[in-house]
Structure 1
Amino acid sequence: MPLTELKSRAHTELRAISSGQLTRMESAGVVMRFIKQEEATIRQLHDEGAGGLEIAEARALLLDIILDVMFTAAIGRHEGSAPTVTLVAQGGYGRRHLNPSSDLDLLFLLPRASNKVTETLATIIQEILYILWDAGFKVGHASRSIAECIGEARKDQQNKTALMDARYIAGDKELFADFEQRFDKECVQKGQEAFFDLRREDLRRRHSKYSHTVFLQEPHVKESCGGLRDYQNILWVARVKLGFKTNEQLAEAKIITGSTCRQLNKGYDFLHRVRNELHYETGRGTDILTLRLQGVVATNFNYPQKTILRRCEAFMRDYYRHTRAIFRHSTSLMEYFEIENEDRSSHGLLGKIPFVHKKGKIEKFDGFFSRNDRIFLQNKDVISDEPNRLMRLFQHCQIRSLELSPQARKYIHRASKKIDRAFRYSVDNRETFRAILERKGEVGRILRLMHRTKVLDNYMPEFGAMDCLVQHEFFHRYTADEHTLRCVDQLDSLVGQPEDTNPGRKLYRRLLHEIQDPYAVYLAILLHDSGRAENVREHIDGSTMLADRVCRRLQIRGGRRALIMFLVDHHLTFWRFATSRNLEDPSVIEEFAGLMKNKRNLDALLLFTWADSNGTNDEAWSPWKETLMLQLYHSTRLWLKKGKEHFHTVMDENKAELLEICRKKLPKSFHEQMLKHFEQMPAAYFRFRDARNIAIHIRSIQKFLSRDALSDGGFECDLSWIDRDNRSLTELVVTAWNRPLFCEKMCCALANANINIIAADVYTRMDGVVCDLFQICTPEMGPVTSERTRQKVINTFRTLNEDPDPLKDYQAAKYLKPRTNLLHDDKTEGGIPFPTRVYVNNEISPTCTAIEIQALDRIGLLHDLFLAIGELGLATVHARICTEKGAAMDTLYVTWPDGSKIEDEKKQREIEDKLAKLVG
């Protein structure tokens, strides 16, 4: 947008304001019309592909001209008595970067203390602010003298940062020049260490908040690692340390390379373009790039891929690469300034990072040397003279606990581009890489160094293809490469801690300690998601194929190869069985044991699953899911150790043992009911259930029967609540006589109280007594402890069942008010759709038909599913409920009323169609 054209239009459109002929309200109207007209032009430029900074600077220029006109008009109204004042832009506006919904940060610079502001000056300031407010701008403002500005900057480093971007707009130029001179002398040149500590702490705080990675599924464009704030930190620190205001000055001083300068500027422009689009699309100051908005932005940016998922993948890969560059360069510069601080006495501020340092203990080895816990090259040709040193360098970092110096990173980057087939097939490099992966607890840090310098990506292209790769699964929080490295970090975290540290990890520590081939486990983790880059429907197939290729290249054979292939091929098997299958069914244990084959595979896969889940997101390995995993693990160990017949014998022995323990726990007045309970409950009920819980169930049944005997035929029930704080849930035992819609009405009562159902087991004794077991939690994933909430459930359940005819006039809608789904709410259109599905499966259970469902989770979903299944004439026997970040992945086990499976294909299609409509 040419400056002369805009100024010409402004002169024409705003002439009436400049002449002082209009009232404040009239001026606001003129300003609003002019802004609307010019904003439309700027928006069109954005839609046509203009750069992010071009749009942000055009908007800043527009506001500069408007404020200049308004300021001049306000001063003109007080001709002869107008005080001295300067209008100054601060913050992002001061940098001439004004995104569509950003705030205006203004400073009215005064020649004297703010408490001596004259009435005339106060009127001028109010006139300007009122017009901006009336025009719809959010304005942050302050009125201060130069001395007050300097005082605030000294008192608060954040104020100092804002004033560093101060820029003249209108008013007294000499006053602003005086401010600049004094601010530079008293605030920029003094107090440097305090300012540097503030900026370093800002980086640490933000990077910690955003998991120290740019590869978040829904990043914050401004605050996340590699976001706008990281870029701005570079210039703030460079200004204070060196007096530089641009990256170009840093490049001229040889502190950064020309390539780094271009990467930083290109990334900063890209982020502004993304932020502009977010603000335009949502109409507000949105800075979080949500999953749905990613699809919108990718489409509006005209990425050419045919499907929205592929467009989103291409866009986010660009986003991650730009933010990664900013993240790495900004942290490297902060590191540089710390090194420069150490070496100031012997090297000029603007000198290149030296090859040899004069201070600190130096240890030389293999063409390298270490100093202050960093590794350096003795000369620039060390790696090119002997290429295999490149792999050994990382082994030295591991053994000596060293980090890469900026100088080393520079030459490693260059060397990584020359990694070829000979380097990959080299026996020496293969053995060094194996040695790196065999040091339990010290692998993740080294792999990250190798990934950062592209050595890992080029040495193992199967991993490199995952670089910045978006994972289109709602429970994944990170990109494929970052997720993989976080899985490695999880394994490392098990090493070197005392046994009493985090006792919940004791089993996994033992499993890692007992693994005799850590190389195989770490390598399998590196490869387990590599198939995601192959764009195949089931990424496991692609990962298995690539793992086979790597094993051939690295000459891995025998048992080691078998373990790697097993872990890659089955890395989701443990999770799928535990969260979707009926673990009380012996046939499920038999099938899983057949897949495991031996204890070595079982132990390794549990450890692998633990690392994979914890590397996915913070909620993936919940106490409830761990309970399922361990139940499957211990059952399978027993099966593998003793065999099928002994497994059933142990189950029978366990039931007899449970009876004896219950006999001791319960008073004699409960013994008759206890014997009946053990005789009439189905065998599956007693598997993996402890005596304490069974005793609670028996008490609940006896209380119900006692009430029922006194009820004169009315509905009676008993609800017992068992809090499981260690598993973040509550177990609810519901007992009553079996009747139609029993489960549905219980789910309705729970949904009415805003309670989430995690799992449900439906048991009916031979005498017709129902003993339904629900595992429930609050929307915040905690146990249901509120007595008021519990009473609400009981009252609603009784009301729903008070009519003697359970099928008469059941109106669930009265209690199930529409609720927002539990996935992150985003009202934008055109984003990535949530993948819902319903699949009828007769293969995973010998006695029941399984209905696998993936849908947006919501309170009341299970009720609606149970009700729909009942309307189809089917009975729900068991429900395995699994939720991840607001996505429900449920498996319902159903039969015909006579207990048989649904074999008719036409009926199966009817089930799928009805439930698919229900889940959207």
Structure 2
Amino acid sequence: MRSIVLRSRELLSEGREKAFQQHRSGTPGTQVSTLLADLYDDVVLDIWNEAVREYATDPRLGGLCLIAHGGFGRRDLAPYSDADLMLLTTQSSESLAMKIAGYLTRDLGDSGIQPGLSIRSASEACRLAWVDPIVYSSLAESRLLAGSLQLYKRYFDAFRHGAMRRSKRIIHDIVAARREERTKWGETSYLLRPNVKRSRGALRDIQLIRWIGFARYGETDLDRLLKLGALPEDDYRNVRQAYTFMLRLRNEIHFREGKSQDVLDRPAQMEIAQQWGYVGTEGVLPVEQFMQDYFDKTRNVRYAAAYFADDARSRPLVYRVVERVLSRKIDDKIRMGPTHIWVRDDALDAFASSLPDVLNLMSLANQHRRRISHHTWQAIRTVMQDRAPTQPDPESIEAFLSLLSRPGRLAPLLRRLHELRIIEQLIPEFRRMRGLLQFNAYHKYTVDAHSILAIEAATDMEDDPGGMGRRYRRIDDKRLLHLALLIHDIGKGYEEDHCIVGARIARDTAKRLNLDSATGETLEWLVLKHLAVNVVAFRHDLSDPEIVLSFAAEVGSIRRLELLVVHSVADLIAVGPGVATDWKLSLIEDLYKRTRRYFDSGDLPGSPSDPEIDETRQRVAQVLEQRSAPPMASELLSQMPLSLLSRCEPDELATEILAVASRGDDQQPTLCLAMFDEAIKAMRYTVIRHEQRHSIGTFSRATGALATSGLAILRAQIEMVGDFAWDHFWVIDPEYPEGETPQHRTDQISQRVCHLLDNPDEPLPRFRTTWKPTSEVEPTSVNVLPKKVVFDNDTVDRYTIVSFFAYDEVGLLYRIASALADQRLVLSFAKIDTHLDQVADVFYVHEVDGTKLTDPNRQMQVRAALLDVVS
């Protein structure tokens, strides 16, 4: 290996170790990054000098210069950053540039620095920058490393002046490019697994300020932008603090990984929190405290970058004139145009310092669906950030409640209030939610971000033509719903159950906001019961009339039912993308319709007195008669339990009965039918097996057969119809996640299920596993939620409800089912609720003699057996 490479490798290794020691000693991130930039400079220049040595007397060398750009030019490198380089050349030196570039690329790569090297003329570099915002943003950070100073100055002066002449278009393009990048890496700064370089509010937004500053003022340095008056002092201070924090954090991740890595995953969060000395508080883990600091920094950057970009993208004069000409007077201080609302300049200073006036302006903006003009909001933001928090007066409270009463642009306006810390003046407990991490894979956002996203999900229902939209529009007091969504998780971060804590805070909030007693009571109830719909819909048998009756008693009225259901759906949507699946929404809809029918008619769905049961039975009999079903079909129909008649469509149930009744005695005892459930976009496999009694191991065997076929089981219903075990499984097939599974696939699975059930001694095939990138696999150290088993003997009369909570593993459901079978428990119903890494599975069971599991020793035995199946 070449001596220059060996020397560079050694220099790089020693330099990184020195930087690591300084980092560990607590040296600020900016200083460590500068040290690393100096190290890269030394290595690159050493290799450059070696590359040009033999051309020292070549006149073509005077037409070359080596330029660092991007992060290398900016001198904020992380330990394993790439080195962005441009070899600038004149036309006469181009052939030499090609040779030297070859040396640089080879030797830098062999030394351990990944180079990004381009060869450009000055005009070519500028031309590319004017059409490509990525090229522009990188070259805006140009820095001369070696070569012709004169050539560099000519290039950079032309680049700076050209950028300032084209500033409007360049700023538009780089903001659009940044928006596209945020869409990929995180549109909110409250992501729980953020990219510290590319997510919103991270390092890239600080760089965006620099790039806009270069286009508009010819400067990238934040200190210079402050002196020019382009960057407000508060924003400058916040961005500087965040910059130091982010660089230190990025360096930490690089040093831990030993490679370029910018994603702050959950294991790293826990380790860094401990390494950096976070100790936590009551109900708040150290990692949650650390991430609150992270989100506080990214929030400040996000707002500073957004307002800097808005200032730079001032609207064209013609647009502003039209807006003014077509505006109308709202009162002595406020005017409203076709798209914006604003405060007159002569009244703005006094207006911006008045909390009632600001809240009233936001209420008007929401009512008329107008944006607050940037100039007006900038003035409000500047004054409100310096304003000492005060006890809200009645006028402010009235304006806040008025804002909450309409959908309009409510969520964006609440985010602005949150930015100014006004919400926590009206609701002091909201301060604790700010940037509060929810340390699980289920939630994607912090508590405060999730709460405002829930409001956004609800207000989006205004234009929804479906049932949920109709229910939202029927709610007359929308301020109650919106306020409940805003504070429904306000009890998180305490030792006590967050619903109970939240209900107490809701009671205090109602008094503070002067709500009448009835509204305050409903607000408290909504916060206390905001998980009730999910618990019942996702974890109970909705065909059981006891469940519906119990839920209806808890809700009490149609008004509360609609409030709670809309609240639950909005809350579910706001958890994260892909959480509110068709399956879960269909379960909530089913619960709503069954409860609503009980309130409307007094008929309890699924009960012997339910008229729809008789209608279903008659319709099934008609279908069987039309299809000339054998006599056994009528016998099976007469033995059908109410739960099957309650939940099955008549045509589908008739098809299943006909398939069983038409089978000959010499055929295998198990039948497996597949159909696509259009309502919930899931496949349903019906497994019917002739048995003298319900075999305890049948469910676990069927579960294993489906799971080893790669299917994700959502729900199972187990019934006995005469001598037949009649089991339904709703599944998602990962091979066909978007639609109906093709016939050849369902036939293959059905044959496997029948074969494995009819040959109980044959071992199950190996469980299929899905390959995942190493970076997405998290160790068990992040599993901070306890695994547990809960027994409920109160909800239904005939069964003990066993709830199982754990982190998901391949084959876990089969192992749970096998453990229940080993314990000689008869299983009647199962609901499987899995999201990302967590399961909350529910099983209705009883002993072989039909009794519940009430003995504490027996419960202890079953609990130990179930917990034992988790690795």
What TM-score, normalized to structure 1? 0.87
Matched with 2:727 is: 772
Partner residue, 2:538 = 579
Is residue 284 from structure 1 mapped to residue 264 from structure 2 by the alignment?
A: no
Name the counterpart of 1:524. Answer: 484
Question: Which residue of structure 1 aligns with residue 134 of structure 2?
Answer: 158
Separation in 2, partners of 1:601, 1:434 = 20
Paired amino acid for 2:469:
R
Q: Equivalent residue for 2:340?
A: 373
Question: Whole-Å Cα distance in 1 between the matches of residues 172 and 641 of structure 2?
Answer: 66
Corresponding position of 2:107:
131
Deviates further, 828-837 or 273-282: 828-837
Code of the aligned partner of 2:675:
I
Q: Spell out the pairing of 1:379-418 with structure 2 (5 A cutoff).
A: 379=347, 381-383=349-351, 388-400=356-368, 401-412=370-381, 414-415=383-384, 418=387
Q: Does 1:98 align with 2:77?
A: yes
Residues 283/846 of structure 1: CA separation in 2 closer, same or farther (3 Å cut)? farther
Corresponding position of 1:188: 163
Q: Distance in 1 between matches of 2:141 and 2:780?
A: 37
Partner of 2:399: 432
Q: Secondary structure at the match of 2:461?
A: coil
Please give the secondary structure, in 1, of the residue aligned with 2:848.
coil
**1:875-890 alignment, distance < 5 Å:** 875-890=826-841
What amino acid is the match of 1:170? A
1:455-854 correspondence to structure 2 within 5 Å: 455-495=422-462, 497=463, 502-503=464-465, 506-533=466-493, 535-643=494-602, 648-651=607-610, 653-666=611-624, 667-670=626-629, 672-703=631-662, 705-706=663-664, 709-711=665-667, 715-738=668-691, 739=695, 741-767=697-723, 769-779=724-734, 781-783=737-739, 785-801=741-757, 803=759, 806=760, 808=761, 810-812=762-764, 814-816=765-767, 825-827=776-778, 830-831=781-782, 833-854=784-805
Provide closer, same or farther for how the CA distance between residues 244 and 361 of structure 1 changes in structure 2, counting only shifts above 3 A.
Answer: farther
Q: Partners of 1:106 and 1:289 in 2: how far apart?
A: 27
Q: Secondary structure at the match of 2:120?
A: strand
From 864, 867, 870, the counterpart of 2:815: 864
- With over 3 angstroms needed to count, the CA separation of the structure-2 counterparts of 1:765 and 1:448, relative to structure 1, is same
Report if the CA contact (8 A) 2:825-2:845 is conserved. Answer: yes
| Total equivalences in the alignment | 860
Which letter maps to 2:474? Answer: E
Counterpart amino acid of 2:561?
L
Cα distance change, pair 788–29 in 1 and its aligned pair in 2 (3 A): farther
2:33 aligned residue (35, 56, 60):
56
Following superposition, the deviation at residue 817 of structure 1 comes to: 5.3
Give the residue type in structure 2 aligned to 1:775.
Answer: W
Q: Structure 1 pair 821/220, CA: closer, same or farther in 2 (3 Å)? A: closer
**Comparing 64-73 with 445-454, which one deviates more in the overlay?**
445-454
Residue number in structure 2 paired with 1:19 = none
Partner of 2:22: 45
Measured at CA, do residues 548 and 364 of structure 1 come closer, stay the same or move farther in structure 2, by a change above 3 Å? closer
User: 1:636, 1:42 → 2: CA distance?
Assistant: 64
- For 2:786 and 2:237, how far apart are their aligned partners in 1? 39
The separation in 1 between residues aligned to 2:519 and 2:283, in whole angstroms, is 40
- Among 295, 304, 317, the alignment partner of 1:320 is 295
Distance 2:605 2:56 in 1: 102
Deviations 1:398-427 (A, max 9, x none): 345241534544445534765656x42x33
1:236–1:608 Cα change, 3 Å: same
Letter matched to residue 238 of structure 1: G
| CA shift for structure 1 position 574 | 1.0
Q: Secondary structure at the match of 2:91?
A: coil
Give the Cα separation in 2 of the matches to 1:790 and 1:646: 32
Letter in 1 for 2:372: E
CA distance in 1, matches of 2:501, 2:682: 38
After TM superposition, give the deviation of residue 65 of structure 1 in Å: 0.8
* Aligned residue in 2 for 1:66: 43
Letter in 2 for 1:866: A
Question: Would the alpha carbon gap of residues 919 and 783 (structure 1) be closer, same or farther in structure 2, given more than 3 Å must change?
Answer: farther
Q: Does 1:179 align with 2:155?
A: yes
CA distance in 2: counterparts of 1:229 and 1:172, whole angstroms? 31
The percent identity for this pair of structures is: 21
Contact 2:819 2:866 in 1 (8 A): yes
Amino acid at match of 2:95: V
Asked if 1 retains the 8 angstrom alpha-carbon contact of 2:682 and 2:732, the reply is: yes
Are the aligned partners of 1:409 and 1:453 in contact in 2 as well (CA < 8 Å)?
no
How much is the aligned-residue C-alpha RMSD, in angstroms? Answer: 3.0
Partner of 2:869: 918
Q: Deviations over 1:229-265 (max 9, x none)?
A: 2111111111111212222222222232222111112
Measure how far apart 1:335 and its partner are.
1.0
**Cα pair distance change 1:399/1:589, threshold 3 Å:** closer
Q: For 1:261-272, list aligned pairs within 5 A.
A: 261-272=236-247
How far is 1:870 from its partner?
0.9
Query: Corresponding residue for 1:223?
Result: 198
- Deviation, structure 1 residue 622: 1.5
Return closer, same or farther for 1:419/1:700 CA change in 2, 3 Å cut-off: farther
Residue 760 of structure 1 aligns to a residue whose secondary structure is strand
Distance in 2 between the 1:591 and 1:846 partners?
12
When normalised by structure 2's length, the TM-score is 0.92
Partner Cα separation in structure 2 for residue 62 and residue 239 of structure 1: 27
Contact 2:82 2:114 in 1 (8 A): yes
Mapping 1:293-304, distance limit 5 Å: 293-304=268-279
Tell me the CA shift for residue 369 of structure 1: 4.8
Gaps of 5+ in 2: none
Structure 1 contact 765–771 (Cα < 8 Å) conserved: yes
- Where does the alignment leave 5 or more consecutive residues of structure 1 unmatched? 1-23, 347-356
Q: 1:832 to 1:749 in 2, by over 3 A?
A: closer
Cα distance 1:802–1:510, how it changes in 2: closer, same or farther (>3 A)? closer
Summarize deviations over 1:583-609 as a string: whole Å, max 9, x none.
Answer: 122221121111111222112111111
* 1:860 shift after superposition: 2.3
Measured against aligned partners, the alpha-carbon deviations of 1:7-39 in whole angstroms (never above 9, x if no partner) come to xxxxxxxxxxxxxxxxx5332222212211221
Following superposition, the deviation at residue 391 of structure 1 comes to 2.9
Q: 1:798 to 1:605 in 2, by over 3 A?
A: closer
SS in 2 for 1:844: coil
Residue type matched to 2:763 in 1?
Q
Deviates more, 1:896-905 or 1:863-872: 896-905
Q: Which range moved further: 94-103 or 822-831?
A: 822-831
Residues 670 and 757, structure 2, Cα contact 8 Å, conserved in 1: no
Q: In 2 relative to 1, CA 692–417 (structure 1 residues): closer, same or farther, beyond 3 Å?
A: farther
**8 Å contact kept, 1:731–1:774:** yes
| Equivalent-residue separation in structure 1 for 2:517 and 2:168 (angstroms) | 58
The answer to whether the Cα contact below 8 Å between 1:734 and 1:771 also exists between their aligned partners in 2 is: yes
Structure 2 Cα separation of the partners of residues 365 and 544 of structure 1 = 39
Check conservation: 2:597, 2:604, Cα contact below 8 A: no
Distance 1:220 1:875 in 2: 48
Q: Displacement of 1:678 after TM fit?
A: 2.1
Secondary structure of 2:231's counterpart equals coil
Q: In the aligned structure 2, how far is the partner of 1:306 from the partner of 1:369?
A: 47
C-alpha contact (below 8 Å) 1:754/1:779 kept by paired residues: yes
